[in-house]
Amino acid sequence: MPTLADLLTIHEKLAPVHRRALSWFLEHEGELVPWPEPLAAGTLLAARPKGIYKPQWSKYALSVRQTLDGPYPDLAVEYLPGGSWLFRYYQEGLDLDNTSRAFTNRGLQECQNDAVPVGVLIQKARKPHVRYLVLGLAFVEGWGDGYFHLSGVRSADFAAAHLSLPLVASATPTQIADSIADAFDPRLVEDERRKVLRSLHERRGQAGFRRLLLDAYGARCAATDYDAADALEAAHIVAYRGPVTNHPSNGLLLRSDIHALFDLGMLAVHESEMCLVLSRDLRSTRYESLHGKPVASPRLGFSPPSREALRRHRELAGL
DSSP states of 231-300 as a string? GEEEEESSPP-SGGG--GGGEEEEEHHHHHHHHTTSEEEETTTTEEEE-TTGGGSGGGGGTTPBPPPPPT
pLDDT of residue 241: 61
Which amino acid is located at 303 in the chain? Answer: S
Q: pTM here? A: 0.56
Give the count of beta carbons closer than 10 Å to the beta carbon of residue 92.
Answer: 20
Could you tell me the pLDDT band of residue 11, with boundaries at 50, 70 and 90? Answer: low
Helical spans, DSSP H, in the chain: 4-13, 16-27, 103-114, 155-163, 165, 173-183, 192-205, 207-216, 256-263, 307-317
For the chain, domain boundaries: 4-156, 171-317
Give the count of beta carbons closer than 10 Å to the beta carbon of residue 238.
Answer: 24
Out of 2.20.25, 3.30.70, 2.30.280, 1.20.1510, the CATH code matching 4-156 is 2.30.280
For 225-279, the pLDDT digits (tens) are: 999 988 999 998 887 666 667 778 889 999 999 998 998 889 999 999 999 999 9
| Lowest model confidence (mean pLDDT) among 9-13, 108-112, 279-283, 309-313 | 9-13
Average pLDDT taken over every residue of the chain: 79
| Lowest model confidence (mean pLDDT) among 58-62, 188-192, 238-242, 295-299 | 188-192
Mean pLDDT for the stretch of residues 112-138: 89
Q: Are 91 and 98 in contact (CB under 8 A)?
A: no
